[in-house]
Chain A
Amino acid sequence: MAEVVFPFPFPENLELILPEIILAVMGMVVLLMSVFLSVSRQNIVAGVSIATVIAVGASVLYVSGSDASTTFYGYFVLDPFAVYAKLLIAIATVFAMMLSLNYVKDEANVGEYYTIMLFASLGMMLMVSATNFVTMYLGLELMALSVYVLVGYQRDVLRSTEAALKYFILGALSSCMLLYGLTFLYGSTGSFIFTEMGDIISNSGEDQRLAVLTGMLFVLAGLSFKVSVAPFHMWTPDAYEGAPTPITAFMSVAPKVAGLVVFMRILVDVFPGLQAEYTTILMFLAVLSMAVGNIAAIAQRNIKRMLAYSTIGHIGFILLGLIAGSNDGYAGILIYMTIYLFMTMGVFAIIIMMRRDEIQGELLDDFAGLSRVRPGYALAMGLLMFSMAGIPFLGGFWAKYAVFIAVIEADHIILATLGVLFSAIGAFYYIRIVKYMYFDEERVSFNFAKSAPLQVIVVLTTLVIVAIGIYPEPVMAMCRLALAGLV
């Protein structure tokens, strides 16, 4: 047997990847646990999964104190930027699992449901720590594959299966576009590592420009699919409507956080030499997303579909931060995503509670007269809706304020004006729900699901939104500190 000398030593600083190791191992443990537990005791699995994600969040904080920032020969990075994104992903996952407690307890295969959720968040965490396209793409696929399965989890519900199939086919198409773009970039730079590619692209001559631009176009399109930027948003409303509601909440926050973080990392590290070009493309995408999201949402009667369009609109606003291309812009994106996480989770908690006679209350009409029956929930829903609309002195206002200020500082006055305009249009359909709740007669009898975790989420998210609205400085300061790894 030939003597094999390894060209690299054993990877140093492996402790940085501790959160991911915990997630991967516990994912498999949960899978096995569910096999050995009887059907009536499957809720133990849910408890263990939630505890795991909380432990992962804690371990992210623990390892963030480490002096080193890269491991696996520089292919995995844990900078403050990644730490912040991972914390957001962990919080979103915990919330989504708490939303699921009541929802999936009657379903078959509860254990696999939580296992796949754990693996989905593993994929996202690997994505945000990727320093090269190989790790990034594999993390992305791990996340996407898990979410496809979760969307189609209620396989006896036709809507769920249809949504999963549509999402899967369009998701596969977007992966193809991403990979196709990557071949061009690899062909012209000969590297997969973000910063190396960035250096080569910045110094490349005119003859490479066409290939690099083509590659960038496809990579941007592929990523836009994943974060549902218009015109690549077609799958979003169907997938949101068909998916089990806790999964809708999960996929409207966590994959968006991961996708946008990767978006930012790639633009900053790989394409600094093409800033003028990608800004032009992003301006088009941002305006289209804001328009599609805010105008199409008005016509929706199903609240999950409406929130799908609302997500597209919010992503449009978030893109403004990327267009600004400044520290303020990137910090604005992080602030926006933080506040968006809490708003969305609160709204979905209320939607999941609105069960009547085993039917999910998903239509806007179901909210009519809520204030007379359940004034507490109506108040929470009202505050969250005002926040989403960006009414001053609630969290959502500061989110929009941060990106708008950044884009004005970057001298894109027209874009900021359009943003405010679409934000005003969007306010209409958010406030319409408040009108339904407070000024309309009740049309259906309410039958709220009693669930302590859901109530905790509603109260917690509403308090956070009000608190951030009154006193936003700590969150803003935190997001600025988190940029240390990016720029």
Chain B
Amino acid sequence: MKLVGGWWMVGSEWSLASVVAAVWVALLYIAGVPAYAGATSARQSDATVQKGNEAYQYWCATCHGRGPGHPGTVALTAKYKGALPGLLEERTDLTPQTVRFAVRRGTSIMPFFRKTEVSDADLDAIAQYLTRRASPRR
């Protein structure tokens, strides 16, 4: 395809269908969504969030799960004193950067995790899982 005067053109043939398709693709492009993103991207994203949930349950939930006996949740509850939920999974304000920072730098008595424990891919998935409810930001 090549860009001609703001319109993507397939080959040099113009037909109504290809114009419509070109407009559709252009609009998607302008909107910042790669062409053909659509449903595939949502599925990949769901799959990543699911993977992140699994990794979270294995690596994080023993301290950051719900209820007493989960020292991470107890600690965050004491830290925020109601201003934010103590349970990480209920937070809507986390960013992927914050999640990565906490896991790779540690904080207080929480140590950092190595890549043989939480791989970069796992960490990205956990970050997606914990930010799944985050307000969209542009």
A, B co-complexed: no
Please report A residues at the B interface, Cβ cutoff 8 Å. none
